[in-house]
């Protein structure tokens, strides 16, 4: 049994919260640069240029790319041969607290959804636990902004709706969102499972590199087709018209029930942030 101290989890989560908010992942930087070069509409191209300039300021100065430094989504892949000395959830939340307070990140969490009093330290984190074979302990911190989170949707399609139903729903979500989620967006799609698992898959899809396609060629092709269709909508960067509405579509799937076809679409803005570390 491998032993890990809870304090080590706190230190890593703190660092990941800060770095994720300051430094845009390289694959997203690359997608924005390529989109800027390929964008034929002058206003859209100038907006992509500003977006590029903005993340460069953050890279150079270690300041948040966006003021919405998100709700801290923390994905833990915990090897079943690992024993943690201490409380894992407390350790993660302490890391979020330290990262957001010391890193001058915005505190955007309210304790109760209706009473709405700010917790002032951005806790609690949304923690996703996954038990895996072996003795590894992997942490992914993904600060999720709510401008884009609010534009996400889920639908329980019928099996007879089939592939066309899935495509139509994904396009409808992007169309409904319009300029609101800060396009160019990254689109996470979860297909199958149950109501809640489809939503989880859609969020997980946003954690995958935009350089990596689904391992199943059928879904890899669907990702490409949906990206083309979304970029034919004409919404463009910030929704003011243009080619670049989305940078990437990532799909994740699970087996599902004979009666169902759940589809969830989790939208992320051009500040798609996630940072990973292993203990």
Partner 1 sequence: MVKHITTPLTYEKVKDLKCGDNVMISGVIYTSRDAAHKRLVEAHERGEELPYDVKDTIVYYVGPAPAQPGQVIGSAGPTTSYRMDAYSPTMIRLGQRGMLGKGKRSPEVIAAMKEVGAVYFGAIGGAGALLSKCIKKAEVIAYDDLGAEALRRLEVENLPAFVIIDSEGNNLYEIGRKEYLEFANK
Which residues lie closer than 8 Å to 256 by C-beta, 6 or more apart? 192, 193, 194, 262
Would you say 44 or 191 has its CB closer to partner 1? 44
Whether 47 contacts 175, CB under 8 Å: no
Q: Which is nearer to partner 1, 42 or 133 (CB)?
A: 42
Task: Report, in Å, the least distance between residue 110 CB and partner 1.
Answer: 9
Q: SS3 for 68?
A: coil
107 vs 224 by CB, closer to partner 1? 107
> Which residues does 143 contact at the CB level (< 8 Å), separation at least 6?
17, 20, 21, 69, 70, 71, 72, 73, 105, 273
The smaller minimum CB distance to partner 1, of residues 95 and 236, is found at 236
Contact (Cβ atoms closer than 8 angstroms) between residue 159 and residue 185: no
CB of 44 to partner 1, least distance (A): 7
Shortest separation between residue 111's beta carbon and partner 1, angstroms: 13
- Collapsed DSSP state (helix, strand, coil) of residue 123: coil
Q: Which is nearer to partner 1, 179 or 260 (CB)?
A: 179
Rounded to a whole number of angstroms, the minimum distance from the CB of residue 222 to partner 1 is 23
Nearer to partner 1, 104 or 163 (CB): 104
Find the helix or strand (DSSP H, E) in which 129 lies: strand 126-132
CA 135/CA 139 separation, integer angstroms: 13
| Nearest-approach distance from CB 243 to partner 1, in angstroms | 7
Query: Is residue 268 within a helix (H) or strand (E), and if so which, with residue range?
Result: strand 261-268
The secondary structure of 153-190 as a DSSP string is: EEEEE-GGGHHHHHHHHHHHHHHHHTTTT-SSEEEEEE
Q: Nearest distance from residue 68's CB to partner 1, in Å?
A: 7
Residue closer to partner 1 (CB basis): 47 or 263: 47
CB atoms within 10 A of CB 207: 18
Taking the complex as a whole, the smallest distance from the CB of residue 266 to partner 1 amounts, in Å, to 16
Binding site for partner 1 (CB under 8 A): 40-41, 43-44, 47, 50-51, 53-55, 57-58, 61, 63-69, 104-108, 116, 118, 120, 147, 150, 178-182, 232, 234-236, 238-243, 269-271
Using omega within 30 degrees of 0 as the cis cutoff, is the peptide bond preceding 105 cis? no
- Tell me how far apart the alpha carbons of residues 248 and 210 are, in angstroms, rounded to a whole number: 6
Query: Cβ 155 to partner 1, closest distance in Å?
Result: 21
What's the number of CA atoms in the CB half-sphere (13 Å) around residue 178? 3
Residue 79 or 145 with smaller CB distance to partner 1:
145
């Amino acid at each position: 049994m491998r032993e890990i101290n809870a304090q080590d989890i706190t230190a890593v989560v703190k660092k990941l919260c800060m770095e994720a908010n300051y430094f845009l992942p390289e694959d997203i930087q690359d997608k924005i640069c390529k989109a800027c070069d390929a964008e034929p509409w002058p206003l859209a191209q100038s907006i992509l240029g500003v977006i590029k300039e903005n993340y460069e300021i953050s890279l150079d100065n270690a300041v948040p790319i966006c003021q919405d430094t998100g709700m801290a989504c923390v994905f833990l892949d915990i090897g079943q041969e690992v024993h943690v000395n201490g409380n894992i959830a407390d350790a993660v939340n302490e890391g979020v607290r330290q990262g957001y307070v010391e890193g001058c990140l915005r505190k955007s969490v309210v304790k109760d959804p209706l009473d709405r009093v700010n917790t002032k330290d951005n806790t609690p984190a949304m923690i996703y636990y996954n038990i895996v074979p072996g003795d590894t302990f992997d942490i992914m911190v993904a600060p999720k902004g709510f401008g884009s989170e609010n534009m996400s949707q889920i639908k329980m399609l019928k099996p007879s709706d089939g592939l066309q139903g899935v495509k139509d729903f994904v396009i409808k979500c992007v169309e409904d969102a319009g300029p609101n989620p800060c396009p160019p967006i990254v689109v996470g799609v979860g297909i199958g499972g149950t109501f809640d698992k489809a939503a989880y898959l859609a969020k997980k899809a946003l954690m995958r590199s935009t350089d990596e396609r689904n391992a199943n060629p059928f879904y890899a092709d669907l990702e490409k087709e949906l990206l083309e269709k979304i970029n034919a909508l004409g919404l463009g960067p910030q929704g003011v018209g243009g080619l670049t509405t989305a940078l990437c579509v990532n799909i994740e799937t699970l087996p599902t029930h004979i009666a169902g076809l759940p589809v969830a679409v989790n939208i992320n803005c051009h500040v798609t942030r996630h940072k990973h570390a292993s203990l």
